[in-house]
Amino acid sequence: MKRTTLDLWVGFFVAIGLAALVFLALKVGNLTESSHGPSYTLQASFGNIGGLKVRAPVKSAGVVVGRVASIRFDPQNYVAVVTMDMDARYQFPVDTFATINTSGLLGEQYIGLEVGGDTEMLKPGAMIKKTQDAVVLEKLISQFMYNKASDAPSK
């Protein structure tokens, strides 16, 4: 095996190996999306966060605009305080509504932001005032049963 042929084959091997790594990183994973660009934090408190997890997406109009950074329990008010890393490109008004939604019927939970019409924007570290808790399936069922039960006697 001549030296030059050997070098050629090794170069080819390393090249396609690196190409495979790049393919996996870009095409298969979401490298381009997980931007570590500039960000600011916002907070929101919920009575029940349901199955929300850290690193869950924060979406507005269905587009990912941030990620859940941390979730902690507030022992004074007995609520959950969620801290979110928001993409610095997007600002939200102070009357934004933060809800916990489920993607699909049994999918993962994410925070959805619906904007109001206020001209003043939320500052970094600000608390979103209007929130809606996660829909807990059991409560929904018991509510349904209760409604059903209260319907019956009036008939």
Binding residues for another protein (CB under 8 A): 1, 3, 6-7, 9-10, 12-14, 16-18, 20-21, 23-25, 27-31, 33-34, 53-55
**Cβ at position 31, least distance to another protein in Å:** 4
Enumerate residues 6+ apart whose C-beta is below 8 A from 118: 93, 94, 95
Q: Rounded to whole angstroms, how far apart are CA atoms 74 and 77?
A: 6
Q: How far is the CB of 35 from another protein (least distance, A)?
A: 11
CB atoms within 10 A of CB 110: 19
Smallest gap from Cβ 132 to another protein, in A, equals: 25
Q: Please say which residue, 16 or 127, places its beta carbon nearer to another protein.
A: 16
Beta carbon of residue 145, minimum distance to another protein (angstroms, whole number): 28
Which lies closer to another protein via its Cβ, residue 56 or residue 134?
56
